């Protein structure tokens, strides 16, 4: 969604978040670039998306497209919502959140790929911890990692977090625990 369109949606009531990089990628050609499996927002999800603060992204991420990302539990209930900067190019995915000093409570970043594949994310040059969430082409969460910030004499490159998915969603560390997000829940967003 383009930033201009975001402004229009905000005015209409829809306000709309990698550390390091992906280091390994193989694709599954049977997974199409079709995001029709991503469900539409329900009224409850729309309300959760409307409640997030749209001031993220800032700094080097200010020009990124954004989208609200809502997590729907297996029971259909909303687990949480954030405004996500969209990292949809190789350069944006490589930068990840390593240039950010912090992340707002309801901010995140959504890494997108053409198809489902195996990826490994690292905590290179990170100054805060993250939850790294992998999701398949339908937005179903397949893996969740809780990654602490690198130690005082570490650059984070040795902290590896592999998974399989078409989307990788990063939020502040422990966001998934605080919002009861688990494998099998689903990311819902406009793409």
The per-residue pLDDT for 179 is 97
Which residues are within 8 A (CB) of 93 and not within 5 positions of it... i.e. 6 or more apart?
A: 18, 21, 22, 87, 111
Average pLDDT, integer, range 26-31:
39
The whole-angstrom separation of Cα 75 and Cα 10 is 29
Average pLDDT, integer, range 29-55:
59
Comparing 189 with 11, which gets the higher pLDDT? Answer: 189
The whole-angstrom separation of Cα 124 and Cα 150 is 8
The per-residue pLDDT for 59 is 86
Q: What is the pLDDT of residues 92-123, one digit of tens each?
A: 999 999 889 899 999 999 999 999 999 999 99
Q: How many domains does the chain have?
A: 1
The Cα-based distances of 55 to 6, 59, 118, 149 in angstroms read 12, 11, 32, 24
Which residues are within 8 A (CB) of 115 and not within 5 positions of it... i.e. 6 or more apart?
A: 27, 28, 29, 31, 32, 33, 137, 166
The per-residue pLDDT for 40 is 72
DSSP lists the bridge partners of residue 86 as 110
Does residue 21 register a pLDDT over 80? no
Q: Which residue is associated with the tokens 């996500």? A: 84
And the tokens for 186? 């689903």
Average pLDDT, integer, range 116-138:
96
Q: Which domain holds residue 61?
A: 3-189
The per-residue pLDDT for 49 is 64
Q: What is the pLDDT of residues 148-166, one digit of tens each?
A: 999 999 999 999 999 999 9
Under a CB-based contact definition with an 8 Å cutoff, are residues 69 and 189 in contact? yes
* End-to-end CA separation in angstroms for the chain: 7
Range ranked top by mean pLDDT from 21-25, 59-63, 101-105, 108-112: 108-112
With vertex at residue 168, the alpha carbon angle to CA 163 and CA 171, rounded to the nearest 5 degrees, is 115
CATH of the domain at 105: 2.60.120.1140
pTM exceeding the 0.85 threshold for the entire prediction: no
């Amino acid at each position: 969604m383009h930033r201009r369109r975001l402004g229009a949606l905000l005015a209409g009531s829809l306000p709309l978040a990698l550390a390091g990089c992906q280091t390994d990628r193989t694709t599954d050609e049977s997974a199409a670039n079709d995001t029709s499996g991503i469900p539409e927002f329900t009224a409850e999800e729309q309300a959760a998306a409307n409640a997030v603060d749209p001031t993220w992204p800032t700094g080097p991420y200010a020009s990124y497209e954004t989208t609200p990302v809502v997590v729907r539990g297996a029971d259909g209930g909303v687990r949480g919502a954030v405004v996500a900067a969209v990292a949809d190019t190789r350069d944006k995915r490589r930068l990840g959140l390593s240039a950010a000093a912090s992340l707002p409570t309801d901010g995140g970043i959504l890494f997108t790929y053409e198809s489902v594949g195996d990826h490994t994310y690292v905590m290179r040059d990170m100054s805060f911890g993250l939850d790294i969430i992998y999701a398949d082409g339908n937005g179903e969460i397949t893996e969740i990692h809780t990654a602490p910030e690198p130690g005082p004499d570490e650059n984070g490159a040795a902290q590896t977090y592999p998974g399989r998915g078409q989307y990788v969603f990063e939020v502040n560390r422990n966001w998934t625990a605080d919002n009861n997000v688990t494998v099998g829940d689903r990311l819902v967003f406009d793409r």
